[in-house]
């Protein structure tokens, strides 16, 4: 399931603190029950799935050779090997967006709607 742009906007707005869940007839205790149930259902449908993401490419420094000549005709060279630096990585929960959409859908199915705080 792909996350729609609208779902992302609703999610971002809800996380920004300017939105709240509203139901015309239910109280806070019923909200907490519905929220808990929806969190469980969405977590079961879309469990945490961490994947490593790679950003950019790695790079390798060149090897370097330095030589020293001595007065009696001898040269001594030392080579420093190259060093590889891998690309940057981070872990991302690839199911987070789908889990958020499933949670919001569940809350909506229970009669809750996100509204601007007044």
**Global confidence as pTM:** 0.62
Examine residue 83 and state whether it is found in any structural domain, yes or no.
no
Buried b (16+ CB within 10 A) or exposed e, 76-91: eeeeeeeeeeeeeeee
Examine residue 14 and state whether it is found in any structural domain, yes or no.
yes
pLDDT band at 1 (very low <50, low <70, confident <90, very high): very low
Rounded CA gap, 41 and 110, in Å? Answer: 13
Q: Which domain holds residue 34?
A: 1-50+91-118
Examine residue 26 and state whether it is found in any structural domain, yes or no.
yes
Rounded CA gap, 115 and 32, in Å? Answer: 17
Examine residue 82 and state whether it is found in any structural domain, yes or no.
no
Q: What is the mean pLDDT of residues 104-118?
A: 94
Rounded CA gap, 82 and 60, in Å? Answer: 7
Examine residue 102 and state whether it is found in any structural domain, yes or no.
yes
pLDDT tens, residue by residue, 6-64 = 555 555 555 556 999 999 999 999 999 999 999 999 999 999 999 999 999 999 999 99
pLDDT band at 117 (very low <50, low <70, confident <90, very high): confident
Examine residue 106 and state whether it is found in any structural domain, yes or no.
yes
* Structural domains of the chain, count: 1
Examine residue 41 and state whether it is found in any structural domain, yes or no.
yes
Examine residue 72 and state whether it is found in any structural domain, yes or no.
no
Whole-number mean pLDDT of the chain? Answer: 89
Buried b (16+ CB within 10 A) or exposed e, 13-43: ebeeeebebeeeeeeeeebeebbeebeebbe
Tokens 């630096």 label which residue? 85
pLDDT at 115: 93
Cα-based torsion angle of the residue sequence 101, 107, 110, 112 in order, rounded to the nearest 10 degrees: -130
């Amino acid at each position: 399931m792909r996350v729609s742009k609208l779902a992302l906007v609703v999610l971002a707005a809800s996380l920004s603190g300017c939105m709240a869940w509203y139901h015309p007839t239910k109280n806070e205790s019923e909200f907490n029950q519905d929220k808990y149930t929806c969190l469980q259902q969405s977590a079961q449908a879309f469990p945490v799935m961490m994947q490593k993401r790679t950003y950019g490419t790695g790079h390798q420094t060149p090897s370097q050779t330095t030589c020293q000549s001595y007065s009696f005709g001898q040269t001594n060279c030392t080579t420093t090997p190259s060093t590889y630096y891998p690309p940057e990585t981070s872990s991302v929960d690839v199911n987070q967006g789908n889990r958020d959409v499933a949670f919001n859908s569940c809350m909506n199915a229970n009669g809750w709607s996100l509204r601007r705080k007044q």
